């Protein structure tokens, strides 16, 4: 549950950033550089890949949304509160393509299809 709570906490910090700038940041590090938080919530050492998946979304340079997620270490029975969103268009300047919220480890296989086991907890705005 720590990973899920961390994602929800970061989502709240992203809303503070949005209120201040009228767009979402290109990276989560902007939450620190803008003094919204002193450090990002730390994942437990035992986390799978140990990374939050964050992609700002929009069809231009103004990031009007985001997709945020974390791969849970093990599959859980109830992921009914997450978005399970397919990949969308990242805004200009984003450093990576969007991820698949229905896939194992918040990724897609080499053909772009979601893997069959869902352990990705994601939020999409």
Query: Percent of the chain scored above 90 by pLDDT?
Result: 38
CA angle (53 as vertex; 28, 20 as ends), nearest 5: 30
| Angstrom distance (rounded) from CA 33 to CA 29 | 6
CB atoms inside a 10 Å sphere around CB 5: 10
Q: pLDDT tens across 38-52, in order?
A: 998 877 655 445 578
Contact by Cβ (8 Å): 99, 56: no
| Angstrom distance (rounded) from CA 103 to CA 76 | 14
When pLDDT is averaged across residues 29-46 and rounded to a whole number, the result is 85
Q: Which residue has the higher pLDDT, 76 or 23?
A: 23
Total domains in the chain come to 1
52-57 β-sheet, strand order: 52-57, 65-71, 120-124
Q: CA dihedral in degrees (70, 75, 76, 79; nearest 10)?
A: 50
Q: Which residue has the higher pLDDT, 4 or 122?
A: 122
In three-state secondary structure terms, 18 is: helix
Name beta bridge partners: 55. 67
Please, which pLDDT band fits residue 79 given cuts at 50, 70 and 90? low
What is the extent of the structural domain holding 16?
2-124
What burial letters (b/e) apply to 88-116, b meaning 16+ CB within 10 Å?
bebbeebeeebbbbbbbbbebeeeeebee
């Amino acid at each position: 549950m720590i990973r899920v709570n961390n994602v929800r906490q970061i989502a709240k910090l992203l809303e503070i950033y949005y209120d201040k700038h009228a767009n979402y940041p290109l990276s989560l590090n902007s939450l620190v550089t803008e003094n919204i938080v002193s450090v990002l919530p730390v994942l437990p050492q035992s986390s799978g890949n140990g990374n939050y998946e964050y992609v700002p979304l929009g069809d231009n340079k103004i990031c009007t949304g985001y997709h945020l997620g974390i791969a849970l270490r093990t599959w859980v029975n109830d992921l009914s509160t997450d978005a399970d969103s397919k990949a969308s268009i990242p805004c200009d300047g984003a450093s990576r393509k969007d991820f698949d919220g229905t896939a194992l480890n918040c990724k897609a296989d080499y053909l772009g299809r979601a893997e069959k086991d869902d352990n990705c907890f994601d939020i999409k705005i």
